[in-house]
A and B are shown apart, each in its own frame.
Chain A
Amino acid sequence: SQQGEEDPQALSIQEGENATMNCSYKTSINNLQWYRQNSGRGLVHLILIRSNEREKHSGRLRVTLDTSKKSSSLLITASRAADTASYFCATGNTGRRALTFGSGTRLQVQP
């Protein structure tokens, strides 16, 4: 089952612009996490936000969580060509001690 659905499926921007990706989910969660995947590689953990948090920052990343709307957004500011990758949200809950991943957003940053 795919709990999280990212939007948009693909995004193309110019270097220096901001990129925003959204994630919606269906059930109650303990936390929501964002990962990055470069083509053909494993995923890299970016940030974790707990269900009682509304916003979190890490470097150029800003994540928001709205549990009433069951949605989250990932903002990458001042994007770089090296940010080109697929980005996935993943949700965790106490009922199953494993993450459920969304379908991902493919981000292309043009130099």
Chain B
Amino acid sequence: DGGITQSPKYLFRKEGQNVTLSCEQNLNHDAMYWYRQDPGQGLRLIYYSQIVNDFQKGDIAEGYSVSREKKESFPLTVTSAQKNPTAFYLCASSRAGDRGPYGYTFGSGTRLTVV
């Protein structure tokens, strides 16, 4: 079955620590995205990538970094510079093209808590 997998499901970070959230898809999608969701809120765009080895900042990129070395993978690092990282992180993928963005397939999310 094709899908998108996020891991881990729960992650605890100590103050000053960098952590990396994994996102892998086997849907052969070119585009991948990271969003952050705070309680009772909508989704805010962190980073997105339309093609391997290229990515763009979203609305809240400060304190985060990404890489896109493989089509299937788009890991997100939450750095110590992100002062309020506790949130639900969602990864998504979609086809890419001029008439997009197309419908997303989402992962099941990673809940990050600072301890």
Contact = CB atoms under 8 A, between A and B. Distances in A.
Interface of A: 1-2, 4, 30-31, 33, 35, 40-45, 48, 50, 88, 90, 92, 94, 96-104
B108 A92 contact: no
B11 to A, nearest CB: 15
A4 B99 CA distance: 19
Given A43-B90, A98-B58, A103 B106 contact: no
B16 interface: no
Given A2-B42, A97-B50, A101-B42, A45 B100 contact: no
Contacts of B45: 98-100
Given A41-B108, A97-B96, A99-B101, 6 more contacts: A4-B42, A33-B104, A42-B6, A45-B103, A97-B101, A102-B42
Interface in B20-56: 31, 33, 35, 41-45, 48, 50, 56
11 contacts: A2-B44, A31-B101, A40-B111, A42-B108, A43-B106, A45-B104, A88-B42, A88-B43, A97-B100, A98-B101, A99-B33
Contacts of A101: 35, 42-44
Contacts of A40: 88, 109, 111
A56 to B, nearest CB: 13
Band of interface residues on B: 20 to 34
A35 B103 CA distance: 9
B90 to A, nearest CB: 6
B32 to A, nearest CB: 10
Contact of B109 (A41, A90, A94, A98): A41
Interface in B65-115: 88, 90, 92, 96, 98-109, 111
A68 to B, nearest CB: 21
Nearest to B35: A101
Nearest to A106: B40
A98 B56 CA distance: 10
Nearest to B32: A98
B59 interface: yes
